[in-house]
Amino acid sequence: MKLIGMMDSPFVRRVAITLKLFDMPFEHEPVSVMRDFDTFKTYNPLVKAPSLIMDDGTVLMESSLILDVIEKLAGPETSLMPTGVADYIRAQRLIGLALIAAEKTVQKVYEFNMRSGDVPNANWLARVETQLAQAYGAIEDELAGIEGWSCGDQLTQADITTAVVWRFTEHVFPENAAADDYPRLKALSERAEALPVFVNSPLV
């Protein structure tokens, strides 16, 4: 398998970490959708990161769909999703909130770096930052009273995705990831980022 995309994308990084946790061999091609657009087209004409090229040449896109395939290949005995219904639903809620936070952080990046005018749209930026704060606030509330991982004793995809997305926001817009505002989120991220698989899959 070959993973195409930059590790500074939370969507790419969550896939890379998951592949490593499942001990699935893959090559990583750090190609940027912005700086290396034409090169990326040679792997996937849709220029979508992450793109995962399977051994038979099939190109998969969208990180959550890629992770579903990875889970299927790994088998249920090594799943990174909880088996109980209540914990499974909780994990999916956390993943959904984290992906919203990732989306809003990316939208803010685009607002500053991709628009043709010199001044960001103040109303749009305020809306995006409000949605981002609401997503992180909801995750912070979900983590109340939790001392281990978010859905029990074992690391799950909810922890991986939440930690990766938080680190991404912290890196590009630290003002939107203040530890004083989200201490539980910060603690979860630090715990995950200390794991060897995270250390070996750095954002930068």
Q: Mean pLDDT by 10-residue block, N- to C-terminus, for the chain (204 residues)?
A: 98 98 98 96 97 98 98 95 95 98 96 75 93 98 94 96 98 97 97 98 94
User: 3-state SS string over 52-95?
Assistant: EECCCCCEEECHHHHHHHHHHHHCHHHCCCCCCHHHHHHHHHHH
CB atoms within 10 A of CB 99: 19
Q: Could you tell me the maximum CA-CA distance found in the chain, to the nearest angstrom?
A: 52
**Dihedral sign (CA 17, 20, 24, 30):** positive
Range 2-78 classified under CATH 3.40.50.620:
no
pTM of the model: 0.95
CATH classification code of 85-195: 1.20.1050.10
- pLDDT given for residue 117 in this prediction: 64
User: Which residues of the chain form CATH 3.40.30.10?
Assistant: 2-78
User: Which residues of the chain form CATH 1.20.1050.10?
Assistant: 85-195
